[in-house]
Amino acid sequence: MIIPVILAGGSGTRLWPLSRELKPKQFLSLCSEKTMLQETLLRTSKITKADPIVVCSEEHRFLASEQLKAMGTESYSIILEPISRNTAPAIALAAIRSFSFDKDPILLVLPADHSVFYPELFCRAVKRAVDEAMSGRLVTFGIVPNRAETGYGYIELGKEKEDAIYEVGSFVEKPEKAKAEYFVKKGSYLWNSGIFLFKAKTYLDELKTYSPEVFDACVSAMDEKYDDLDFIRIAKESFERSPNISIDYAVMEKTNISSVLKIDVGWNDIGSWSALWELLPKDKNENVILGDVKEIDTKGCLIRSENRLVASLGIKDIVVVETKDAVLVAHKDRVQGIRKIVDHLKSGGRHEYLEQREVFRPWGSYDSLEKNQRFQVKKIKVKPGAKTSLQLHHHRAEHWVVVSGTAKIRLEEKTFLLSENESTYIPSGKRHSIENPGKIELELIEIQTGSYLGEDDIVRYEDTYGRVSPLDSEQPKE
């Protein structure tokens, strides 16, 4: 049985400002109407009918769950990493979990944020690699390079075993430009895709041999796992003992049973705005135009508008990305350095590195329209059948006006309905919640007033989504 393992971690820096720490690129729709995670899931469904195992962070759990459900995936495992420890431990957790479904499973390990232009060719390549994996080899997929890319690692081809399948000669870190040009010219180096196919037992055996600290930490963490709604939670203390290490460093560079399958499937890791520009359809002036954009004498640009008109005049090879709370303007040759902007925002205490103005929650979303020292205005959306937690605020009162839909309001022990154009007042210190009992989205305007409007002024008493725990001293945010 081939079990898909989808690695959905990531910090959301390289495609800022569209991608943020709390909603990185794997949960965004970049190349189609589906998100990157959903596109990855769709590819695996053409290879195997086995239920996927998704590994993601605690902060992204509801995003992952909702996007899997939107694809009609009814059965799946979502393993939550309490702290980021890189790919080697993440894959180990999935490998241990996979024995719950099969005695001798093969794992197809894929990052959730990659694009494959020719999925049919990719599916054929995976099926071709099955025999190699069944024989006890760790198979990685190497991409035929079409340019001297300095943002990717490379795999040196060793002895050819059969057509397009080689022993791994060596793994090479991201090279300087001259060395990358040499690799492409020589023809015996491939891009390291980060995609793998191997038996779960083979991987764990090699991990135990070459990185026993990772193996022991992951086994201990999974021994103490428990189910929480759609999620598998592992022991944080045990997992923290694992080194922060990639599968390449932990296993692939040390093992003597690795193979590489040479493929050319239109692969792209969308690691920058320039990479996305290369991937998307362009107009006659080589521009990628997305959203409400008016361009004049503009060439070779990527311009993306999320909310308002963006106009350009006489520019070339520029990236412009507009969101509700930030605008990026950068030369295509410099977009690899966007992480510096994100680091600067983070060190300066700015919120724009963390999340967009519209913040998504399992019950819906809220968008901060206006904020001052003593008041804040939000647009709140609640999905059909969803409900916010029963909560109170010590330092602020709230006024709610229903714009569309029907709201079921709980205020202390009282429950009542609000229809369109009706409103209510929630005093500070009073327990309250909003529920959408209807079949259409509920939208309302919330006006907060008070001496302190921070998101940490919240105490939860009941929550449908498991965000209340008597063991937690820090209350989760709204």
Q: Which residues contact 103 (CB under 8 A, 6 or more apart)?
A: none
Q: Would you say residue 477 has pLDDT above 50?
A: no
For residue 129, give the 3-state DSSP assignment: helix
**Per-residue pLDDT tens over the stretch 405-417:** 999 999 999 999 9
User: How many CA atoms does the CB half-sphere of 447 hold within 13 Å?
Assistant: 7
**Per-residue pLDDT tens over the stretch 433-472:** 999 999 999 999 999 999 999 888 999 999 988 776 443 4
Q: Would you say residue 326 has pLDDT above 60?
A: yes
**Per-residue pLDDT tens over the stretch 164-182:** 999 999 999 999 999 999 9
- DSSP code per residue over 401-435: EEEES-EEEEETTEEEEE-TT-EEEE-TT--EEEE
Residue 151: per-residue pLDDT? 87
The answer to whether the beta carbons of residues 329 and 305 sit under 8 Å apart is: no
φ/ψ bin of 126: left (φ > 0), alpha (ψ from -120 to 50), beta (otherwise): alpha
Q: Would you say residue 75 has pLDDT above 90?
A: no
Residue 199: per-residue pLDDT? 98
Residue 11: per-residue pLDDT? 81
Output phi, psi for 145, to 5 deg: -75, 140
Q: Would you say residue 137 has pLDDT above 60?
A: yes
Residue 464: per-residue pLDDT? 86
Q: Which helix (H) or strand (E) holds 200?
A: helix 200-210
Record: fold of 2-268 = Spore Coat Polysaccharide Biosynthesis Protein SpsA; Chain A (3.90.550)
Query: What average pLDDT does this structure show over 141-168?
Result: 94
| Percent of the chain topping pLDDT 90 | 91
Question: How far apart are alpha carbons 118 and 315 in whole angstroms?
Answer: 33
Amino acid at 463: D
Residue 473: per-residue pLDDT? 34
Residue 10: per-residue pLDDT? 82
Q: Would you say residue 12 has pLDDT above 90?
A: no
Amino acid at 136: G
For residue 336, give the 3-state DSSP assignment: helix
The answer to whether the beta carbons of residues 281 and 288 sit under 8 Å apart is: yes
Residue 316: per-residue pLDDT? 98
Q: Domain ranges in the chain?
A: 2-268, 273-339, 358-462
Q: Would you say residue 475 has pLDDT above 90?
A: no
Query: What average pLDDT does this structure show over 380-387?
Result: 96
Which class is 358-462 in CATH? mainly beta
Query: What average pLDDT does this structure show over 113-130?
Result: 96
Categorize the per-residue pLDDT at 340 as very low, low, confident or very high, splitting at 50, 70 and 90: very high
Residue 109: per-residue pLDDT? 98
> 260-273 burial string, b = 16+ CB within 10 Å, else e?
bbbbebebebbbbb
Query: What average pLDDT does this structure show over 332-340?
Result: 94
Q: Would you say residue 230 has pLDDT above 90?
A: no
Q: Which of 90-104, 199-213, 348-362 has the lowest mean pLDDT?
A: 348-362
Categorize the per-residue pLDDT at 478 as very low, low, confident or very high, splitting at 50, 70 and 90: very low
What's the chain's average pLDDT? 94
At 357, list the tokens.
Answer: 């103005």
